[in-house]
Amino acid sequence: MMNQRSSLKALAHTLLLWVLLASAAPAMAQTDPLPSWNDGPAKQAIVEFVKATTTPGGAGFVPEAERIATFDQDGTLWVEKPMYSQVIYCLDRVPAVVKARPELANVEPFKTVMSGDREAIAKLSLEDLEKILMVTLTGMSVDDFRAEATKWLDTARDPRWKRPYTELTYLPMQEVLKFLRANGYKTYIVTGGGQDFVRIYAERVYGIPPEQVVGTAAATSYGYDKDGKPFLTKDPRVLLNDNNAGKPEGIYLMIGRRPVAAFGNSTGDRQMLEYTKAGGGARLSMLVLHDDAVREYAYGPAQGLADSRVGTFTQALYDEAKKAGWTVISMKNDWKRIFAFD
């Protein structure tokens, strides 16, 4: 007992020392939570929003349980050019699917994908891509899907930086995720991409657990294998289309609270940003503008940027942002660094 008391006393003295030291280092609390951001209106908007919503007694104070922040993924948290990573995964999966179902080899759009003709593949219509997604993402158990996609994520490399796709996440946005969480926010991904796909790496890449990923989702069916063990199969039927109006609808279904902060980069995020801002009080709606052709890509077509099939940021969206008090983030001007590997 004396020994235990002695060691507890030593611990208490350590605590005393720690308390005294802490009082001598108030500067620690001043560490910049967003070191990859240049000073400017975007960084200022984030810092002021966090201060307003977390200061007890302030007009903009939000109780911790209601601190919900939602982030689009493609083009907001990671690179979406030249094509969404998940679409590249699906295209890469086509040969395996055609091997298992040879009748697809001479059917479009699978025939074009199998031809390897990059130009023709790049020209596939949205309808064609949807057919490819349906065939490559469904008709298997959720465990088989997970195993296949995990293998691809571990081995595939993007064409420009020659790195795993999961490394192409924006460092400044990672800082925002951490800054919000350090201030009691629950961070969610609300993506037009596949919920199952993103859930595989969201914890590792963004620190976001699967239950905080909302995305486009296929229905599943519960069944039993030959040993009577239950499993879930991914069905070729879209249950949730988490784009445009589907984003606030998906947020209501999956979270049941209106976000206080929302981040997007395209017309597909418009309704989520409107819905967030309409909550009243201190609200943060932000849009990432891809205007840095040197360090990433420049496409839009807001502000005269090139038109693009992915991540459409129209001038009308830009104008709505300005009018509604959303903040546009210029990758070129607001971000010191784009990637952790820069």
Q: Is 9 in the site for a second copy (CB under 8 A)?
A: yes
- Cα–Cα distance measured from residue 338 to residue 42, given in angstroms and rounded to the nearest whole number: 15
Is the CB of 15 or the CB of 340 nearer to a second copy? 15
- Cα–Cα distance measured from residue 87 to residue 127, given in angstroms and rounded to the nearest whole number: 13
Which residue from 88, 73, 83 is spatially nearest to 136, judged by alpha carbons?
88
- Eight-state DSSP code of residue 282: S
Per-residue contact flags (x/-) with a second copy for residues 132 to 151, judged by CB under 8 A: ----------x---------
CB of 78 to a second copy, least distance (A): 19
- Asked if 193 contacts 201 with a C-beta cutoff of 8 angstroms, the reply is no
The torsion of the CA quartet 206, 211, 217, 221, rounded to 10 degrees, works out to: 140
Q: Is 122 in the site for a second copy (CB under 8 A)?
A: no
> In this chain, which of 2, 65, 126, 294 binds a second copy, going by CB under 8 A?
65
* Contacting range for a second copy; rule: CB under 8 A; set: 177-185, 212-220, 313-321, 327-335: 212-220
Q: Is 162 in the site for a second copy (CB under 8 A)?
A: no
> In this chain, which of 44, 106, 150, 221 binds a second copy, going by CB under 8 A?
221
Q: Is 211 in the site for a second copy (CB under 8 A)?
A: yes
Q: Is 47 in the site for a second copy (CB under 8 A)?
A: no
Count the residues of the shown chain that bind a second copy, applying the rule CB under 8 A.
46
Residue 295: both structure tokens together: 């360090």
- Cα–Cα distance measured from residue 67 to residue 260, given in angstroms and rounded to the nearest whole number: 6
CB of 316 to a second copy, least distance (A): 15
> In this chain, which of 199, 299, 305, 310 binds a second copy, going by CB under 8 A?
199
- Cα–Cα distance measured from residue 8 to residue 174, given in angstroms and rounded to the nearest whole number: 40
* Contacting range for a second copy; rule: CB under 8 A; set: 84-92, 165-173, 174-182, 254-262: 254-262
> In this chain, which of 203, 204, 237, 333 binds a second copy, going by CB under 8 A?
203
CB of 203 to a second copy, least distance (A): 8
- Asked if 9 contacts 17 with a C-beta cutoff of 8 angstroms, the reply is no
Q: Is 238 in the site for a second copy (CB under 8 A)?
A: no
CA 224 to chain centre: 33
- Cα–Cα distance measured from residue 123 to residue 117, given in angstroms and rounded to the nearest whole number: 10
Angle between helices 142-155 and 85-100 (to 10 degrees): 120
Polymer length in residues for the chain: 342
Is the CB of 119 or the CB of 211 nearer to a second copy? 211
Is the CB of 114 or the CB of 245 nearer to a second copy? 245
Q: Is 25 in the site for a second copy (CB under 8 A)?
A: no
> In this chain, which of 222, 226, 304, 323 binds a second copy, going by CB under 8 A?
222
CB of 187 to a second copy, least distance (A): 12
205 sits in which H/E element: helix 195-206
Is the CB of 16 or the CB of 122 nearer to a second copy? 16
Q: Is 111 in the site for a second copy (CB under 8 A)?
A: no
Q: For residue 73, give every residue at least 6 positions away whose Cβ sits within 8 Å of its Cβ, in sequence order, or none.
A: 189, 191, 193, 198, 215
Q: Is 16 in the site for a second copy (CB under 8 A)?
A: yes
Burial 169-195 (b: 16+ CB within 10 A, else e): bbbbbbbbbebbeebebbbbbbbbbbb
- Cα–Cα distance measured from residue 301 to residue 100, given in angstroms and rounded to the nearest whole number: 41
Which residue from 241, 85, 221 is spatially nearest to 163, judged by alpha carbons?
85
Which residues sit at the interface with a second copy, rule CB under 8 A?
4-5, 8-9, 11-13, 15-16, 19-20, 23, 65, 142, 186, 195-196, 199, 203, 209-211, 213, 217, 219-222, 229-230, 232, 239-240, 245, 248-249, 252-257, 271, 274-275, 278
